[in-house]
Amino acid sequence: MKFGLVFAVAASVLSAGAALADELKMAVTTSFHNSGLSEVLLPEIQKDLGLEVQLLVVGTGQAIRLGEAGDVDAILVHSKKAEEKFLAGGNGTHRTEIMYNDFVLIGPATDPAGIKAANDAAAALSAIKQAKAEFASRGDDSGTHKKELSLWSTAGIDKEMLDPSWYKAAGAGMGATLNTASGMNAYVMSDRASWLKFANKGELELLFAGDPVLFNQYAFLPVNPEKHPHVKAELVLKLEEWLVSERAQTLINGYTLNGEALFTFNAK
């Protein structure tokens, strides 16, 4: 009886680790996942390529680390500077732009800082700082966070001026940070797709958008097989070809929420 138990446990453990035939691991950002686009694309990829894409939904910072460590086969992120650093370090083979959306500024419907009337993003952020209105930040070294920091910088506001009394660094993914903003009725910068899909808006509204500087480009980077021979390079190539294909274009451009398109395909 004892042996039977040991055998059952061993079988359970082994089957838990058994790998499936065609699968690869890809690290993607929370902003990408929270938009819901992956739930549309993954089943189609499975159908068309017989390929199961396992998504690890993490911040851009962690996605880059996973790629560097070789724990995933490819990454899909949205921070050009970090991506170029990744490639310079020999961690990836190349970067392929797939699609873009934009960042928007969200805030309480009452808009105490008056950013609705701002001319550009920098002015909007300055207004928030002036009013010392509460602002929730990703604070997690993600693509979104890096973008946000660059905007503060453009507005001439240093990191030291981002005082914790009104600037709240959540250290979390997009959804969690939106939750925090909603709970505090604070301003927050989000990618449009995540905002549209977010289910706990509370009293928040989309207040500012359209500044070209808020452009948000997503790129696909295969992990370098020379550095990590175990990555599934052929499968990654197949996936990339699919992601830049017309099929993907149709699906991505056709993904709408309440009539609004969330992403724009721009692969060449």
Query: At its nearest, how many Å lie between another protein and the CB of residue 196?
Result: 12
Query: At its nearest, how many Å lie between another protein and the CB of residue 69?
Result: 4
Query: At its nearest, how many Å lie between another protein and the CB of residue 75?
Result: 13
Q: Are 114 and 66 in contact (CB under 8 A)?
A: no
Query: At its nearest, how many Å lie between another protein and the CB of residue 56?
Result: 4
Q: With respect to another protein, which residue has the nearer C-beta, 101 or 126?
A: 101
Q: With respect to another protein, which residue has the nearer C-beta, 199 or 212?
A: 199
Query: At its nearest, how many Å lie between another protein and the CB of residue 19?
Result: 7
- CA angle centred on 90, ends 88 and 93, rounded to 5°: 100
3-state secondary structure of 23: strand
Q: With respect to another protein, which residue has the nearer C-beta, 165 or 199?
A: 199
Q: Helices (DSSP H) in 75-120: which residue ranges?
A: 80-88
Residue identified by tokens 């910068």 is 189
List C-alpha distances in Å: 3 to 9, 12, 17.
10, 14, 21
List C-alpha distances in Å: 167 to 54, 104, 157, 187, 203.
35, 17, 12, 9, 19
Q: Are 104 and 214 in contact (CB under 8 A)?
A: yes
Q: With respect to another protein, which residue has the nearer C-beta, 16 or 88?
A: 16
Query: At its nearest, how many Å lie between another protein and the CB of residue 228?
Result: 6
> Residue 69 phi/psi, 5° resolution?
-80, -15
Q: With respect to another protein, which residue has the nearer C-beta, 34 or 101?
A: 34
Query: What kind and span of H or E run contains 145?
Result: helix 143-154
Residues lying near another protein in the complex (CB under 8 A) are found at: 5, 9, 12-13, 16-17, 19, 25, 30, 34, 52, 54-57, 68-71, 172-173, 175-176, 178-179, 182, 197-201, 228, 230
256: Cβ–Cβ under 8 A, 6 or more apart, which residues?
A: 262
What length does the chain have?
Answer: 268
CA distance 106 to 184: 13
The strand pairing partners of 119, in sequence order, are none
Q: With respect to another protein, which residue has the nearer C-beta, 5 or 21?
A: 5
Query: At its nearest, how many Å lie between another protein and the CB of residue 82?
Result: 19
